[in-house]
Amino acid sequence: MISVGMVVDLLSVAIASQALVPLRDVARLTRDPAVKRGWHALIAAVIACMLAITVGALRDADAPLDIDAAMHLFVHVVGISIVTALARLARRTAQDVIRLAAFEAQAFTDGLTGLGNRRLFTARLEEETARSRETGAPLSLIMLDIDHFKRINDTYGHANGDVVLRRIADAVMAGMRNADTVCRIGGEEMAIIMPRIDPAQAAEMADALRAAVGAMAVPMGDGRTITATVSLGFATRQPEESGDSLFRRADAALYAAKRGGRDRLSRAA
């Protein structure tokens, strides 16, 4: 004979099974290995509870339904229902976080080059300036402009000009550290925020980048290639200097490099 308690226990198991798919989805959405292991452990715990409840239900199939048994069943149903609801909520939250992260990345990314955009540059420069002020760590800023880019567009067309811009953006990213922030802040102009690095080393990296870009030959697809050079302005934050001031000095150094003949690195005074 099947008792009421057995039916309620098996109902609890059925409810608990509804938590497994959401928990699995959350584990899949999680990128941190340690957190992923935690979700897998929770899945294993839920399965273990389901097995324990099933075994108990089969063992006590003929047990009478007294007050204690009824309370026991009530705890099973409510507890399992809460776990299932939390699993679904966790999945929904994880999905929302991923969507928001994608929107945020899009809002701070330049669509053509994949670099950060002007909004990201402004935010990161403010953050790194504050960190430099608090810790005393050096902070350098490089402004980069592709020389005669209008001539490239006029000669080879804007589509090929975009290819050149993307290839130079890739070269800039390849030549920088993970700690650096590279942004396209307008047209053919880029900015590189370099925190916590010796200024002399940062300047060497900037000049190596200039040489690497100058040595590039961008294929056009018809047998021809496009070469380009870049001019760079370099500035290191002075004590008590604001981010805006650092930007203005690096930008002034960039224009000095362009006035000085282009394809060169100019340091701010």
Residues taking part in catalysis:
188
Reduced to 3 states (helix: H, G, I; strand: E, B; else coil), residue 45 is: helix
Q: Do residues 60 and 73 make contact, with C-beta atoms less than 8 angstroms apart?
A: no
Number of CB atoms found within 10 A of residue 151's CB? 11
The residues near 236 (Cβ < 8 Å, ≥ 6 apart) are: 138, 139, 140, 141, 199, 202, 268
Q: How many residues make up the chain in this entry? A: 269
Question: Distance between CA 257 and CA 16 in Å, rounded?
Answer: 68
- For 236, the 3-state DSSP assignment is strand
Quote the CA–CA distance of 167 and 28 in Å, as a whole number: 34
Instruction: Return d(Cα 190, Cα 80) in angstroms, integer.
Output: 55
With contact defined as beta carbons under 8 Å apart, do 257 and 210 qualify?
Answer: no
Are the beta carbons of 237 and 132 closer than 8 angstroms?
yes
Looking at residue 191, the DSSP 8-state letter turns out to be E
Distance CA 166, CA 22 (A): 40
Residue 15 host element (H or E):
helix 4-17
Q: How far apart are CA 29 and CA 52, in angstroms?
A: 29
